Amino acid sequence: MSSISFKLSDDEIKTLIDRYHDLIKESPSEYIRYFIKTPDDTTISIYNTNKILIQGANAHLYGAEFLHKDKAQAGSDEVGTGDYFGPVCVCACIIEEEDYDLIRELHVDDSKKMDDETILKVAPILIDRLKHSLLIVDDLTYNRVHESYNLNMIKAKLHNQAYINLKNKGYKIPKAAYIDQFEPEDAYYRHLANEKEVYRDVTFKTKAETAYPAVACASVIARFAFLKSITKMEAHYAMTFPLGSHGPVDEKAYEFVKKYGLERLKEVAKWHFKNTERVIEMLDKR
């Protein structure tokens, strides 16, 4: 369970109370002036000191609305870097103050906490509503680029490009802009040393997808793109591609190679993963 705390003015508290008037419950403490419990089990405690404590899985969604600096925010996240099969997808998106109600209604969270069926329903709504930039790097391209750059370098370049794309589309990127941190900030910018343009007005946060709605939305859109890409691959090659890099993944890769040949494995899988070595061993033994 996550929690967020901050202070509000009397006028802001009145706005909060008016909005959730029907959800006010009996106060559990003499120090809590109002106690609100939402349908998604988020609790909002309003203390006599004007301190606000929001607790629950969706605390970040309710809290961001009342933290003025975060009402408009941008965020980026990537999906597919831990999967042997399928592309790497990176999305950056912008959410405005008027988007928060929709995000709460859709119960948007870190995509890793949402089942794929829900993501397939929710993501198209976000894509239609939110300003965003989506990059999809297929396996052939990824494997070619990986010959020169490691995974973190590739991710850095994609996150940077996603933000530049937002700017080039004419969108005003909020000052509150976040990247789900995958390495130290100085290393991130070293990877971009030779880029023609670097977007620097971002904040790096670990587990940002659980703290900032914009990053959560970006993760959902990226996951949607990844799932749709897997579906297209399965139709094209007439076989299934399990997610992740364990379990039935090696056997399925072996099946693919027997059907299409080892070299074509680069069309559907990330060649540098250990899975490739294991598949080659399986070919030698069998």
∠175-177-179 over CA atoms, to 5°? Answer: 160
* Edge-to-edge strands, sheet with 88-95: 131-137, 88-95, 73-79, 177-180, 203-205
Query: Do residues 29 and 153 both lie within one domain?
Result: no
What is the spatial distance between Cα 109 and Cα 57, in angstroms, rounded to a whole number?
8
User: Whole-prediction pTM value?
Assistant: 0.78
Query: Do residues 6 and 40 both lie within one domain?
Result: yes
Query: Do residues 61 and 192 both lie within one domain?
Result: no
The token duo for 16 is 């909060």
Query: Do residues 12 and 129 both lie within one domain?
Result: no
- Residue 266: domain span: 238-285
Question: Which one of 13, 43, 66 terminates a domain?
Answer: 66
CATH number at residue 19: 3.30.310.10
Query: Do residues 162 and 254 both lie within one domain?
Result: no
Query: Do residues 204 and 253 both lie within one domain?
Result: no
User: pLDDT per residue over 75-106, tens digit each?
Assistant: 999 999 999 999 999 999 999 989 988 998 89
Query: Do residues 143 and 192 both lie within one domain?
Result: yes
CATH number at residue 175: 3.30.420.10
Residue 267 confidence (pLDDT) above 90: yes
∠93-124-159 over CA atoms, to 5°? Answer: 25
Residue 7 confidence (pLDDT) above 90: no
Query: Do residues 147 and 269 both lie within one domain?
Result: no
Asked if residue 109 lies in contact with residue 216, where contact means CB atoms within 8 angstroms, the answer is yes
Please report the pLDDT score of residue 1 as a whole number: 61
For residue 4, give Cα distances in angstroms to 45, 252, 260. 11, 44, 52
Bridging pattern class, strands 32-37 and 131-137: unpaired
At residue 67 the predicted structure's pLDDT band, cuts being 50, 70 and 90, is: low
8-state DSSP, 85 = B
Q: How many domains does the chain have?
A: 3
Question: Which one of 66, 94, 119 terminates a domain?
Answer: 66
Q: Hey, which bits of the chain come out as E strands?
A: 2-7, 24-25, 32-37, 43-47, 51-56, 73-79, 88-95, 131-137, 177-180, 203-205
User: pLDDT per residue over 121-158, tens digit each?
Assistant: 999 999 999 999 999 999 999 999 999 999 999 999 99
Q: What is the mean pLDDT of residues 155-181?
A: 94
Residue 209 confidence (pLDDT) above 90: no
What is the spatial distance between Cα 25 and Cα 78, in angstroms, rounded to a whole number?
40
Q: Nearest Cα to 222, choosing from 179, 184, 252?
A: 179
Query: Do residues 90 and 135 both lie within one domain?
Result: yes
What is the spatial distance between Cα 244 and Cα 234, in angstroms, rounded to a whole number?
15
The token duo for 68 is 């003025």
Q: What is the mean pLDDT of the chain?
A: 92
Query: Do residues 77 and 25 both lie within one domain?
Result: no
What is the spatial distance between Cα 286 and Cα 284, in angstroms, rounded to a whole number?
6
Query: Do residues 30 and 142 both lie within one domain?
Result: no
Query: Do residues 74 and 62 both lie within one domain?
Result: no
Question: Which one of 66, 93, 112 terminates a domain?
Answer: 66
Please report the pLDDT score of residue 140 as a whole number: 98
∠125-130-134 over CA atoms, to 5°? Answer: 95
Residue 2 confidence (pLDDT) above 80: no
Residue 68 confidence (pLDDT) above 50: no
